[in-house]
Structure 1
Amino acid sequence: MDTSFRYGGDSRALRIHAKEKISLDSNIFLEVHGELDTRIGEPSLLAASVRQFYPDLSASAALGVQYDKYKKLHYLARGKMSFPVTTNDSLKFTIKGRSYLDKDFKQTKYKGAAEFCLDVLNFQKEQDVRVKVGYEVFEKIPYVQIRENNWTLNADINGRWNVRFDW
């Protein structure tokens, strides 16, 4: 099980997040997510999706269901595909999209992004670094992500930010 502490400038609350991937087939997984908001003492997210990976295409697609802190049930569909920019795959260009549907299967929200991702293995001894620079197409917002081993910082041009510690 993957677990993490998450804190964002918008919520001012520490969230404890857990994710489990259960293999259904060689490239198909059931992903189950849950998040506890420590400020209010109740779950802020419960989600499950079936995700298929296409290793030959460096792509994935998923269909699932999500229940959030606003007591809303959503269905979601998402897809992602990466293209190597360098021969050693340290720099990739990725496109990804996500669509949320309400309980009546009407689209309520969508996201789409294009990003460059640079992976630097052994940046220093036993320290890997990942830097993503992207653009959220529908919101028209540039963003950046910096990840160092277990720590991740996300920020966008509007001043939104969050930090995550994976253990």
Structure 2
Amino acid sequence: METSMRYTSNSKSMKIHAKEKVPVNSKTHLQLHGELDTGTGAPSYFCAMIRHFFPEASTGLGVGLHYDKRQKLRCLVRGKKEFPVRADKRVTFNIKGRCDIDQDLNQKNPKGAAEFAWNIMDFKEDQDVRIKVGYEMFDKVPYMQIRENNWTLNANMKGKWNLRYDL
């Protein structure tokens, strides 16, 4: 199980996130993940999703159900397509999108982004770094991510940020 501690710019408490991937076959897995708000002691959300990877097309697709305390139950669909910029795939151009559909079949929170990702293996001894720079189409905002081994910092040009530490 993958666990992490997360803190965002618009939160007053730390969140504990857990994710488990259960293999279905070599290209498909069931992904279960949820979050516990340490301020309230209650779960923030729970999600179950079937994810399939198409390696010949460097594409992933996921469909699932998401439950949270505010928006209740909803269905979600997400996809990502990766285009290698270099032959070694350390620099890629990615297109990704997500659509949530509520119980009344209304679309909620559409997301779509285009980004460049640069993976630097052994930046220093035992230190891997990933840098992402992208643009979120629906919010119309540039964003960036810096990941160093267990630490991840995400930020956008509207001043929102979050920090994650993988346990």
Q: CA separation in 2, counterparts of 1:123 and 1:156?
A: 24
Change (3 A) 1:80 1:136: same
Find the aligned partners of 1:95 and 1:33 in 2 and give their Cα distance: 23
After superposition, the C-alpha distances for 1:46-99 in whole angstroms (9 at most, x for unaligned) are: 000000001111110010000113151111000001000011111000000000
SS at match of 2:49: strand
In structure 1, what residue type is equivalent to 2:47?
A
**5+ residue gaps in structure 1?**
none
1:152 equivalent to 2:152? Answer yes
2:103 pairs with 1:103: yes
**1:120-139 alpha-carbon deviations (Å, 9 max, x no partner):** 00000000000000000011
Describe how 1:15-30 pairs up with structure 2 within 5 A: 15-30=15-30
Displacement of 1:109 after TM fit?
2.1
Describe the SS at the equivalent of 1:40: coil
- Matching residue of 1:57: 57
Match in the other structure for 1:48: 48
Which residue of the partner structure matches residue 78 of structure 1? 78
After the TM superposition, which segments of 4 or more aligned residues of structure 1 sit over 2 Å from their partners? Answer: none
Deviates more, 1:128-137 or 1:50-59: 50-59
Residues in 1 aligned to 2:62 and 2:71: alpha-carbon distance in whole angstroms: 22
- Which residue of 1 is the match for residue 128 of structure 2? 128
Deviation at 1:108, TM superposition (A): 1.8
Deviates more, 1:27-36 or 1:63-72: 63-72
Aligned to 1:8: 8
Cα distance between partner residues in 1 of 2:69 and 2:159: 23
How many residues align structurally? 167
TM-score normalised according to structure 1 size: 0.98
C-alpha distance in 1 between matches for 2:14 and 2:71: 19
Shift of 1:107: 1.1
* Letter in structure 1 aligned against 2:116: F
Percent of matched pairs sharing the same residue: 51
Task: Give 1:102 deviation, angstroms.
Answer: 0.3
SS at match of 2:89: coil
Q: Which residue of 2 aligns with 1:119?
A: 119
Q: Which amino acid aligns with 1:102?
A: D
Mapped partners of 1:58, 1:130: distance in 2? 19
Aligned-partner Cα distance in 2 for 1:120–1:12: 33
| Greater Cα offset, 64-73 or 32-41 | 64-73
After superposition, the Cα gap between the structure-2 partners of 1:101 and 1:71, relative to the gap in structure 1 and judged at 3 Å, is closer
Where does residue 141 of structure 1 map in the other structure?
141
